[in-house]
Amino acid sequence: MDSQLLTKWNKCLEIIRDNVSDAVFNTWFADIKPIKYDGGTLTIQVKSNFVYEFLEGNFVDLLGYTLTKVMGEGTQLMYSVLTDKENDLSVEIETEGKRNAKNEVPDELDSMLINRYTFDNYVEGISNRLSRSVAMSVADKPGRAFNPLFIHGASGVGKTHLVNAIGCKIKELHPELRVLYISAHLFQVQYTDSILQKSFNDFMRFYQSIDVLIIDDIQEIAGLQKTQNAFFHIFNHLHLNGKQLIMTSDRSPVQLKGMEERLITRFKWGLTAEIEKPDLELRKNILRSKTHRDGLKFPEEVIAYIAENVDASIRDLEGIVVSMMAHSTINNAEIDINLARRIVGDLSTFEKRPITIEQIVKKVADFYGVESSSINTRSRKREIVLVRQVAMYLAKKYLDLSTSKIGQRIGNRDHATVLHACKTITNLAETDKQFRHELSQIEISLQCA
């Protein structure tokens, strides 16, 4: 330890001792260690978050007065909170005054939010009412209401839609906040890359700069101890600094096998909300909303029949709508109860032949009139780039593959290129009516392959 720093800190302790009782001094100040003094900021280590909160709540003025007298005017204070005594790991936390004194503009951040998922098109029912209400509160007051927020439920019940709706609403209400939506799988890929490229400190600094962190499918890091350890320290840093954490999972925290107990404990600190499978009335409303958004007209008896016979997930309901539209378009058939019976019967009786990357690439290439092999070249021609990006987007939508795998098999690109492609195509589909029609035609051809 720097002897000069230690000497100054001992002078600080002398002033503090003169202003508090022996019991208070021995309980709250005696164990504090000065870590470093850099750029006008003194960093002190305290043994727990409880100590940090007590000092900030009760002795912030005394600490400020003492630092000014010993270290000089304008000296700021930073806490280093010990989070893992055995491994000597800690999280640095700025004082409220230091945070308020900052005026710098943060770097531009791609939030990676799916902008089409909003509260406006999130259909509410009994099964998701609590989760939606809580989500609205979090969007209104991030970091203050229900932190962390842990949403769980079976696949296809609308978890991804809801957390993206939170992120989009926060961006609207609090544009100054840094919001990031990311899958747990991509988080794990980024962590691994940071280790291989010796950029782990940059990885940690980036995540510690986030104001609202949304992690989808957190169960994906179960069993990955080193990834969990990195996330544990990110979680601690953000939570201690009043930043909002939102996670989704296909099961509740207590059912997360392979997840460290210390993480499970933290997941339960805030609020845990379950989204159940949609009931009959909600399934009907989801179908009405889906068909209306897509400009389709389904007779009420068709909507009722589908809702009564398809009860697994929202994703299955939307799949039925796409399949019916595909058959209606290809076969020039009317959308009626007979078609509904046939499609629902087919999907429940026969296993649908899986879509492959090769099919997707061929369908997209054929639609735009280019050779399938051209997407594996380094060509930057607009039509080749478009085919490559559409293929990546559809692969991400229809296949259970990681972005890294998709990138390897479509043009031998990295996962970041796939994410960029998906975002580009999503934005284009939302703003360009002609392109949206083209994309729909390609998807219909895939459904009927």
pLDDT of residue 432: 78
Collapsing DSSP to helix, strand or coil, 109 comes out as coil
* Start and end residues for every CATH 3.30.300.180 domain found in the chain: 3-101
Residue 423, C-beta contacts closer than 8 angstroms, at least 6 positions apart? 110, 112
Closest CA to 357 of 418, 302, 416: 418
The top-level CATH class assigned to 129-274 is alpha beta
* Start and end residues for every CATH 1.10.1750.10 domain found in the chain: 357-447
Closest CA to 97 of 73, 81, 74: 74
Residue 205, C-beta contacts closer than 8 angstroms, at least 6 positions apart? none
Closest CA to 271 of 83, 138, 125: 138
Residue written as tokens 């051809």? 445
Within a 10 A sphere around the Cβ of 162, how many other Cβ atoms? 26
Cα distance between residue 231 and residue 200, in whole Å = 12
Assigned CATH for 280-349: 1.10.8.60
* Helical H segments across 20-110, by residue range: 22-24, 49-58, 60-71, 96-101
Residue written as tokens 């607009």? 382
Q: Are 273 and 151 in contact (CB under 8 A)?
A: yes
Q: Are 13 and 48 in contact (CB under 8 A)?
A: no
Collapsing DSSP to helix, strand or coil, 36 comes out as strand
pLDDT of residue 353: 57
**pLDDT of 254-297, one tens digit each?**
889 889 999 999 998 889 999 888 888 888 888 888 787 766 77
pLDDT along the chain (449 residues), means of 10: 86 89 87 89 84 78 87 88 68 60 55 87 86 93 90 87 94 93 90 88 90 93 90 90 93 90 91 87 85 78 85 76 75 79 64 75 90 84 90 87 86 86 86 81 71
**pLDDT of 333-364, one tens digit each?**
778 888 888 778 765 543 445 788 899 999 99
Partners of 36 in beta bridges: 43
Tell me, yes or no, if the pTM score tops 0.75.
no
- Overall size of the chain counted in residues: 449
Is the CATH number 3.30.300.180 carried by domain 3-101? Answer: yes
Burial class (CB in 10 A: 0-12, 13-18, 19+), 381: exposed
Q: Are 43 and 35 in contact (CB under 8 A)?
A: yes
Assigned CATH for 357-447: 1.10.1750.10
Residue written as tokens 């007979």? 338
Residue 37, C-beta contacts closer than 8 angstroms, at least 6 positions apart? 2, 5, 8, 43, 71
